[in-house]
Structure formats: C-alpha cells, structure tokens
C-alpha cells in the first residue's frame, strides 16, 4: 500500500508543470461550480427562511392587489390561528433606483412577534414604537449606507407618492444565516394616516397578512378556513404556507435558475475534459512502461489503481485549490452585483460537500479511458511502442 | 522559411483524442459565453422592440414600472389635450390611457404560478402599436368582459387559450382572440377594454398614458411643458422605446454580470486545458522539432507553427461552440422580468457582435494557451532535442 502511494506520488510529479496546470484547471472549475451553486442558493434563500408555522394570506388575483385592513379581526377568530399581523410593500426610492432592499410598512405591535428572527434590542424597540415616523433597519442597510440610530432616511414614494422622511430608531440583527439582513420597516399607521388625507380611496388597505398558527400540521385546514371567510367578497383571498408563497416567486424565475443549474453541470464536464486529457497524455507516454509492468505480472486491477490513483491525487488537490479560492470569488461576485441584489448570499456547507464529491467522481471517471487503453493494449504492442 | 500549413494540421490530428478533448473544452466555454450574451441580448431586444420612438409614455415620477405608476383622470385629460399630441383624421387624439395590472395565472404543464400583465387599452392603442395583429379569433368587443391574449401567454398558461375563460377581478373573462406583436414584450400580455378592466379592479385612475408625438423632434419642448405645468409636476414623459428598454436593464445586467464572471473563470480553465495539450505536443515532438531546426527552420518559424496549431485548435472549438449556441435561437424561454415584475417571453438572439466576440474569445484562449509552449518549442537546443528519447 505504502509502495503504491510512493509510486503514485512519483508518477504525479514526473511532469511537474503539467500536474500543476491540471490542478489549477480543476481548481478553477471547482470554484466556478461552487460559485454557481451559491447563486442558486441565494435565489432559494426566501424558501429556506420560511417558517413552518406561518401562513401568508394575499389577494386571490395577485399579491399586488391590496386587502382591506378589516379582514384582520375575522382572520384572528379562525380556530388554530394564534396571531395575525400584516405588511404593506411600500416600495419607494432611497437615494436612486439602484438601491435594493425591502421597505415594508408593518403593524409595529405584532409584526416582530410573528418574525422572531429579526433580533432587536428591547430599548430600541420601545423608542421605535413611540415615534410616528420611526423605522427599524437591518444591520446590512446600516452598514451599506453608514447609518446610525437617529439618522434620517428620505424616501421618494412611487406607489405612495411624495417625500417620506423616516428616523432610524432601531437596527436589527438577523438570527439565522437565511434571514434577510436588509429590510426596512416602519409604522403602517404613519403611512395610512397620510394616505387617508392624500388619496382617501386607498386608505385602510394592506398588502398581505401573515398568520401564525398554533400547529403547523393544521396549515391546510386553517388556510381553507380563512379563504372560505372571504369567498365571493370584493377581495377574495388566497392563503398558503410561507414556503409555498416563496416558491411561487421562484417558479416565475425558473428559467434563469434552470440555466444556472445546467451551467453548473457543464462545468463538471469541463473538469472532466481537462483531467481526462492529462491522464490520456500521461498514459500514452507510458505505454512502454505499462507493458513492462504487465509483463512482470501486474494485474489489470493494479494498473487501474495506478492510473486512477494518480487521477484522484490531481483531482483532490484541484478541488482543494478550488475551494480555497471560492471564498474570495463569491465575495467578489457579490461586490460586482448591484448592492442588495441578493440580501442573503453565503456558501452552504452542502455546496462544499457536493463540490468535493463531484471532484472525486470526476477523478475516477477521467481515468476510465486511459485505463481501458492500457488494459486493451497487448504487451508486445506496448513494448514496441515509440512515444 | 515557414513551416508548411499541412504539417501544422497533420500534427493536431495525429493525437486525435487529446485534440478532441481540448477542442471540446474550448467549445463548451464558447457555448456558455455565447448563450449568456444571447440571453441578455434577447431580453433587451424584446423590450426594445416593444416601444416605438414616435410614441411617448407618461408615467408618475419615480415609478419604475407601469404597475407602480398612477395618473389621475384630470392629469390624463390634460396630457391628451396637449398640442404636441398627434391627432387622427377625425381630430381625436392618437392616445391611449391605460390601466396596467398584474394577475396570477397557473403555468401549463408545470407546477407554480406566475405574474401576467393585463393591460386595459383605448381604441387608438392599435394605431400606436401597428405591430400588434390579431392572428386567431377576433378582436374583443368594447364594453364586454372579453379579452385578447398575447401569443407568448396562450402557450404557457392555464385558461389562456381561445374559447377559454379566465377569472380575475371578480368576473370570468372570455378569451376571444390571440394577438401577435412580432416578438415584442406585448406578446406576454393580456389586453382588454380600459373601461371594463378599470371597473373590474375598481380603479378610478390610470397607470400610464401613451400617445403619438405630432413631431418626433418635439421631445425637449414636451419635457419642459411638463416641468412648467403645475398640474403635471408629478409626471414625466418618456419615449416609449426608452421606457421599455429601461425595464430590461436590471435583468440584462444580472445576466451579463453572471455571464462575464462565469466565462472568465471558465476560460481560465479552458486556457489551462489548451496549455496542457500544447506542452504535451511539444514534449512529444522534441526530436521532430530538433530535426526541423537542423533542416534550417528558424526559431520563430517553430514558434509560429506551434502558435498556429493552438489557434487552429481553439478556432475549431470556437466554431463548434458557436454552432451549438446558435441552435438556441429556436427556443423561446420565459422568466420573471424584475423590471416590470411580470412574465416576459423572449428568445435567445444572436448578433454579429456576439459572433465576433465569441470567436475572438476562442482565439484569445488559443493564443494564451499556446504561447508559452510555443516559446519552449522554439528555444529547444538542436543537439539536445535530437538526442531526446
């Protein structure tokens, strides 16, 4: 065994330049693979972050249509519902149109009870509740625009026209890696008061309800009960689990995600080509040598372990190099994107595991052609071979 | 003395498997590179062809898309009566006040739903957008709960076929016609009577007003007319073409950034692949190179020969990749456009600059991958090379 390892290392180091190049080639491809998988993960962040005990009730036609605030109490009476809160997509422009983060008008009394993953200091929260135009922002927003408690944020409204001024009164920390660290939240009451004056026919409307249920297993029954309440009314509702709600967003963008999935497999193909090429070249050069080994009585299995072993060594080193550079590459990619495109962007442990496994499999696969050739070559032909 | 071209070609075919592997590697990279650019180009082309340069769309300031824009009836009336608006033979303004909303429809043959744009139009909409033609069925009846569906939507959504009914806004709407707009973004929309649509969604205001400019050069005057009129201070006129093009920016930008990042990384891999092959090729032919040098070939001829071999290899790979990518033109895909927040169908589109870029890119990979090995070949010492086994 030790002898075999020694021989493998020697063989690998015979063409130092070629081995180094191959390791880099594999490394580059592994990095591209991990980067693409990470981008796909980022798309799914919303699904990952969804809690099993939360339902979303939205307008049946589309979530861009508002629901009356009056539905709230009726939803709260449905058996199995433990808490109801609501939010409104405020949209608006902060600084310019290229600053992406969610701006929500929320019910400040209940919203943070239903979303415990937004961790906020108790004192900050109390001052937030007392001030009409106060806002709570994610730590990521604070970092991006260098904002502190007490700073003023000016939004130019689009859905709700006009100039809107908010004071930062709280900065929340995300509890989980999948929690969006860049959301801005402020009082629904403040928005509604102004809308009541400027556009009375749009007052008293919210975007969607978030319903916390006591038992996640009742999700289907509770959803049905809620939708039944508003059947044949002016605004019919559609209630589904938070996860299903998020997945619908993704199914709309599925073409892009599919394209990225396909690309990540094309990359594995490229690793295979680079590594396979190296192994074929090495085996060809050593045709003579392998014939000698065969003449000495080496079995097909032994020869296989020689070639596959060398291929595995290259792919393992390549994967290691690739994973090392993945971290700076992912960071660079996020910097290249417009700020806030992906609020949640991190390398999942599964991605790394998957990259390593595919690196190993490719290492084995790349040795198949040369092994077949070596085994098929007759000893006499091999000995006669001139490189 | 130059090394014959035949020698170069023959030597790359002497080790077929290695050559094919290297070529395929480059082909894959070029394929991905081209496909990504074609996708970004396709999105842009679709939205660019949606608008016309002679038309002006008025939206609320800061509104990034039509669904976010609100124009009250009074302002809309002022706009359509402006002197810059072209008029038809009977003196009516060539303008369409429109309501744009989004509805959810289930996808055909797949799980999930997506956002589809519904546009309530006035009669002049068809004069403003002459590309739009009814290709199946008939035009909807004004004053009836009837709709016509874009060619891109009818293929992909439940209930969007001729003779079917779609439920939204508390009513069932009959699909009475299918329209086609030569691959523009309107193909991904549903159209109906403005009065019916705004009644169903209880809208008392419009989303946008689009009109034909009497004189296409009048844009600057129009902008200043908007700026000086107090009643119009919340609104801004934009050329329709530019307005739709802006909606493609975000999507195209994302695709490009991702594409460029991926291809740079990929190309590093493929260049390394080409380098390995060319180094191998040099090592294998040490004796040959020695012989060539002994016969009187110059170092630079050897350098050029190996470089040419690498370029031939990469060009072949580039052509294969490009050929594969050009097949994509026959596919139409659809995705959520973040600019308008609704479904947009588009095709991969090839352009001369993408072709040139892809081939140039392939050659660059060949040049980079082949240069160092070619230098090594050229610097071989004659005596030692001839002695090599």
Tell if the CB–CB gap between B102 and A64 is shorter than 8 Å: yes
Joined tokens for residue A291:
């014939």
Q: Distance between CA atoms of B375 and B178, rounded to whole angstroms?
A: 63
Name the DSSP class of B158.
T
> Do residues A219 and A266 both lie within one domain?
no
The nearest CA of chain A is from the CA of B109 a distance in Å of 13
* Domain-terminating residue out of A203, A235, A267: A235
- Report which of A332, A371, A373 is spatially closest to residue A39, judged by C-alpha positions: A332
> Do residues A111 and A167 both lie within one domain?
yes
Q: Read off φ and ψ for residue B97, nearest 5 degrees.
A: -85, 130
> Do residues A304 and A220 both lie within one domain?
no
Q: Is residue B53 part of a domain?
A: no
> Do residues B77 and B164 both lie within one domain?
yes
Tell if the CB–CB gap between B25 and A274 is shorter than 8 Å: yes
Tell if the CB–CB gap between A277 and B169 is shorter than 8 Å: no
Q: Is residue B176 part of a domain?
A: yes
> Do residues B132 and B267 both lie within one domain?
no
Which residue of B261, B264, B313 is the best one to mutate when testing the A interface, meaning the one whose CB has the most A CBs within 10 A? B261
Burial of B6 (0-12, 13-18, 19+ CB in 10 A): exposed
The answer to whether the CB of B201 falls within 8 A of the CB of B17 is no
Q: Is residue A130 part of a domain?
A: yes
- pLDDT confidence bin for A188, thresholds 50/70/90: very high
Q: Read off φ and ψ for residue A85, nearest 5 degrees.
A: -135, 175
> Do residues A13 and A91 both lie within one domain?
no
> Do residues B173 and B106 both lie within one domain?
yes
Residue A252: per-residue pLDDT: 65
Q: Is residue A55 part of a domain?
A: no
> Do residues B218 and B275 both lie within one domain?
no
Tell if the CB–CB gap between B111 and A277 is shorter than 8 Å: no
Check if A36 contacts B (Cβ < 8 Å): yes
Q: Is residue B55 part of a domain?
A: no
Per the structure, the count of domains in chain A is 2
> Do residues B196 and B229 both lie within one domain?
yes
Q: Distance between CA atoms of A352 and A7, rounded to whole angstroms?
A: 30
Q: Is residue B140 part of a domain?
A: yes
SS3 B290: helix
> Do residues A163 and A300 both lie within one domain?
no
CB atoms within 10 A of CB A210: 22
Q: Distance between CA atoms of B99 and B120, rounded to whole angstroms?
A: 5
Question: How does pLDDT run across A24-83, given as a tens digit for each residue?
Answer: 888 988 888 888 888 888 888 878 888 889 999 998 877 778 899 999 999 999 999 999
Q: Is residue A39 part of a domain?
A: yes
* Partner-chain residue, chosen from A32, A248, A336, that has the shortest CB–CB distance to B113: A248
> Do residues A82 and A147 both lie within one domain?
yes
Which pLDDT tens digits describe chain B residue by residue (389 residues)?
677 788 878 877 777 888 888 888 889 888 888 888 898 888 888 888 888 888 999 988 777 788 878 888 989 999 999 988 999 888 889 999 999 988 888 888 777 778 889 999 999 999 999 999 999 999 999 999 999 999 989 988 989 999 999 988 778 999 999 999 988 889 999 999 999 999 888 788 899 999 999 888 888 888 888 888 888 888 889 999 888 888 877 778 878 787 777 778 778 877 888 888 888 888 878 888 899 889 988 889 989 998 998 999 899 999 999 999 999 888 887 777 766 777 888 888 999 999 999 999 999 989 998 999 999 899 888 888 888 76
Check if B60 contacts A (Cβ < 8 Å): yes
Check if B273 contacts A (Cβ < 8 Å): yes
- pLDDT confidence bin for A141, thresholds 50/70/90: very high
Helix boundaries (H) for A214-253: 219-229, 242-252
CA distances from A4 to A1, A16, A188, A286, A309 (A): 5, 19, 71, 17, 9
> Do residues A133 and A162 both lie within one domain?
yes
Check if A339 contacts B (Cβ < 8 Å): no
Question: How does pLDDT run across A2-26, given as a tens digit for each residue?
Answer: 788 888 888 888 888 889 988 988 8
The nearest CA of chain B is from the CA of A130 a distance in Å of 30
The answer to whether the CB of B53 falls within 8 A of the CB of A294 is no
pTM of the model: 0.76
The nearest CA of chain B is from the CA of A354 a distance in Å of 19
Q: Is residue B54 part of a domain?
A: no
* Domain-terminating residue out of B173, B207, B233: B233
Contacts with B, A 341-360, CB within 8 Å = 341
Answer yes or no: is pLDDT of A387 > 60. Answer: no
Which residue of A277, A319, A335 is the best one to mutate when testing the B interface, meaning the one whose CB has the most B CBs within 10 A? A277
> Do residues A40 and A76 both lie within one domain?
no
The answer to whether the CB of A293 falls within 8 A of the CB of A386 is no
Q: Distance between CA atoms of A310 and A13, rounded to whole angstroms?
A: 10
* Domain-terminating residue out of B183, B205, B233: B233
A152: which residues sit within 8 A by CB, 6+ positions away?
A165, A166, A167, A168
A175: which residues sit within 8 A by CB, 6+ positions away?
A116, A117, A118, A119
> Do residues B157 and B276 both lie within one domain?
no
Residue A17: per-residue pLDDT: 87
* Domain-terminating residue out of A200, A235, A270: A235
Q: Distance between CA atoms of B61 and A27, rounded to whole angstroms?
A: 49
Tell if the CB–CB gap between B280 and A369 is shorter than 8 Å: no
Q: Is residue B127 part of a domain?
A: yes
SS3 A97: coil
Tell if the CB–CB gap between A251 and B112 is shorter than 8 Å: yes
- Report which of B280, B301, B362 is spatially closest to residue B24, judged by C-alpha positions: B362
Q: Is residue A54 part of a domain?
A: no
Q: Is residue B57 part of a domain?
A: no
pLDDT > 90: percent of chain A: 40
Q: Is residue A326 part of a domain?
A: yes
> Do residues B221 and B260 both lie within one domain?
no
> Do residues B81 and B161 both lie within one domain?
yes
> Do residues A222 and A352 both lie within one domain?
no
Burial of B203 (0-12, 13-18, 19+ CB in 10 A): middle
Going by their DSSP bridges, the two strands B208-212 and A208-213 should be labelled as: unpaired
Per the structure, the count of domains in chain B is 2
* Domain-terminating residue out of A169, A202, A235: A235
Per CB-CB distance under 8 Å, the chain A contacts of B344 are none
B77: which residues sit within 8 A by CB, 6+ positions away?
none
Residue A266: per-residue pLDDT: 81
Tell if the CB–CB gap between B15 and A271 is shorter than 8 Å: no
Which structural domain, as residue segments, surrounds residue B14?
A: 5-48+247-387
SS3 B251: helix
The answer to whether the CB of B190 falls within 8 A of the CB of B101 is no
Tell if the CB–CB gap between A251 and B273 is shorter than 8 Å: no
- Report which of B186, B295, B166 is spatially closest to residue A61, judged by C-alpha positions: B166
Answer yes or no: is pLDDT of A236 > 80. Answer: yes
> Do residues B100 and B11 both lie within one domain?
no
A-chain residue closest to B21, CA distance: A273
> Do residues B212 and B256 both lie within one domain?
no
B-chain residue closest to A28, CA distance: B269
Residue A261: per-residue pLDDT: 83
Answer yes or no: is pLDDT of A212 > 60. Answer: yes
Q: What is the DSSP string of B182-199?
A: TTSGGGGEEEEEHHHHHH
Check if B115 contacts A (Cβ < 8 Å): yes
Tell if the CB–CB gap between B60 and A252 is shorter than 8 Å: no
Q: Is residue A288 part of a domain?
A: yes
CB atoms within 10 A of CB A230: 21
Question: How does pLDDT run across A306-364, given as a tens digit for each residue?
Answer: 899 999 999 999 999 999 999 998 888 888 777 767 778 888 888 999 888 988 898 88
> Do residues A279 and A153 both lie within one domain?
no
Tell if the CB–CB gap between A277 and B254 is shorter than 8 Å: no
> Do residues B106 and B163 both lie within one domain?
yes
The nearest CA of chain A is from the CA of B332 a distance in Å of 10
Which structural domain, as residue segments, surrounds residue A325?
A: 2-45+254-384
Check if A248 contacts B (Cβ < 8 Å): yes
Residue A97: per-residue pLDDT: 77
Q: Is residue A241 part of a domain?
A: no
Check if B323 contacts A (Cβ < 8 Å): no
Q: Distance between CA atoms of A295 and B75, rounded to whole angstroms?
A: 94
* Partner-chain residue, chosen from B24, B69, B262, that has the shortest CB–CB distance to A273: B24
Q: Is residue B56 part of a domain?
A: no
> Do residues B96 and B229 both lie within one domain?
yes
The answer to whether the CB of A155 falls within 8 A of the CB of A166 is yes
Task: Show the CA angle centred on residue A220, arms to residues A216 and A224, nearest 5°.
Answer: 135
> Do residues A268 and A153 both lie within one domain?
no
The average confidence (pLDDT) of chain A is 88
The answer to whether the CB of A72 falls within 8 A of the CB of A84 is yes
């Amino acid at each position: 065994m030790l002898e075999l390892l020694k021989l493998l290392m020697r063989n690998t180091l015979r063409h130092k330049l070629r081995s180094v190049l191959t390791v880099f080639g594999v490394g580059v491809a592994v990095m591209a693979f991990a980067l693409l998988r990470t981008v796909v993960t980022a798309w799914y962040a919303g699904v990952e972050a969804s809690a099993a005990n939360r339902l979303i009730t939205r307008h049946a036609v589309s979530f861009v249509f508002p629901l009356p605030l009056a539905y709230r109490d009726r939803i709260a009476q449905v058996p199995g519902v433990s808490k109801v809160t609501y939010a409104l997509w405020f949209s608006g422009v902060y600084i310019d149109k290229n600053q992406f983060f969610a701006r929500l008008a929320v019910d400040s009394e209940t919203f943070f009870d239903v979303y415990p993953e937004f961790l906020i200091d108790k004192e900050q929260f109390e001052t937030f509740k007392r001030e009409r135009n106060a806002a709570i922002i994610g730590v990521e927003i604070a970092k991006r625009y260098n904002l502190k408690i007490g700073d003023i944020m000016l939004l130019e409204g689009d859905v709700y026209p006009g100039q809107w001024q908010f004071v930062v009164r709280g900065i929340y920390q995300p509890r989980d890696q999948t929690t969006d660290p860049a959301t801005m939240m402020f009082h629904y009451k403040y928005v509604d008061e102004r809308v009541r004056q400027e556009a009375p026919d749009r007052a008293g409307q919210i975007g969607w309800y978030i319903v916390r249920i006591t038992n996640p297993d009742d999700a289907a029954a509770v959803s049905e009960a809620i939708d039944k309440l508003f059947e044949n009314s002016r605004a019919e509702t559609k209630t589904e689990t938070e996860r299903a709600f998020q997945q619908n967003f993704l199914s709309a963008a599925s073409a892009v995600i599919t394209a990225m999935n396909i690309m990540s497999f094309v990359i594995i193909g490229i690793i295979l080509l680079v590594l396979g090429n190296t192994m074929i070249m090495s085996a060809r050069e050593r045709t003579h040598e392998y014939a000698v080994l065969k003449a000495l009585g080496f079995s097909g299995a032994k020869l296989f372990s020689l070639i596959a072993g060398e291929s595995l060594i290259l792919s393992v080193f390549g994967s290691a190099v690739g994973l090392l550079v993945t971290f700076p590459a992912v960071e660079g990619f996020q910097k290249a994107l417009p700020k806030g495109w992906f609020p949640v962007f991190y390398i999942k442990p599964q991605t790394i595991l998957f990259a390593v496994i595919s690196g190993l499999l490719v290492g084995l696969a790349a040795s198949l052609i040369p092994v077949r050739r070596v085994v098929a070559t007759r000893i006499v032909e091999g000995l006669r071979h001139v490189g | 003395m130059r090394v014959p071209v035949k020698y170069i070609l023959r030597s790359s075919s002497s080790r077929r498997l290695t050559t094919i592997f290297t070529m395929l590697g480059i082909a894959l990279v070029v394929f991905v590179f081209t496909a990504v650019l074609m996708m970004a180009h396709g999105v842009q082309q679709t939205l660019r062809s949606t608008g016309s340069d002679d038309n002006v769309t008025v939206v609320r300031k800061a509104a990034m898309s039509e669904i976010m824009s609100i124009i009250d009836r009074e302002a809309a009336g002022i706009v359509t009566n402006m002197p810059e608006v072209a008029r038809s033979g009977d003196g009516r303004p060539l303008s369409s006040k429109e309501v744009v909303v989004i509805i959810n429809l289930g996808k055909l043959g797949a799980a999930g739903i997506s956002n589809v744009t519904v546009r309530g139009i006035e009669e002049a909409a068809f004069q403003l957008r002459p590309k739009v033609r009814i290709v199946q069925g008939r035009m909807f009846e004004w004053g009836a709960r009837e709709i016509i569906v874009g060619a891109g939507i009818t293929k992909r959504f439940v209930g969007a076929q001729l003779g079917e009914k779609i439920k939204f806004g508390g009513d069932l709407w009959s699909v009475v016609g299918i329209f086609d707009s030569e691959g523009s973004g309107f193909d991904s929309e549903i159209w109906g009577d403005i009065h019916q649509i705004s009644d169903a969604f209880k809208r008392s205001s419009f989303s946008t007003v689009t009109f034909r400019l009497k004189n296409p050069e009048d844009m600057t005057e129009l902008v200043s007319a908007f700026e000086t009129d107090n009643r119009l201070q919340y609104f801004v006129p934009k050329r329709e073409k530019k307005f739709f093009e802006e909606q493609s920016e975000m999507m195209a930008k994302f695709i490009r950034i991702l594409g460029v990042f991926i291809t740079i990384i990929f190309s590093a891999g493929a260049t390394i692949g080409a380098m390995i092959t060319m180094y191998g090729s040099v090592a294998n032919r040490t004796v040959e190179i020695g012989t060539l040098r002994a016969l009187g070939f110059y170092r630079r001829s050897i350098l050029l020969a190996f470089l040419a071999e690498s370029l031939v290899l990469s060009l072949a790979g580039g052509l294969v990749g490009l050929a594969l990518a050009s097949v994509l033109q026959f596919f139409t895909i659809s995705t959520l456009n973040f600019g308008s927040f609704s479904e947009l169908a588009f095709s991969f589109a090839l352009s001369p600059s993408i072709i040139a870029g892809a081939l140039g890119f392939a050659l660059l990979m060949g040049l980079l991958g082949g240069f160092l090995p070619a230098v090594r070949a050229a610097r071989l010492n004659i005596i030692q090379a001839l002695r090599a086994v």
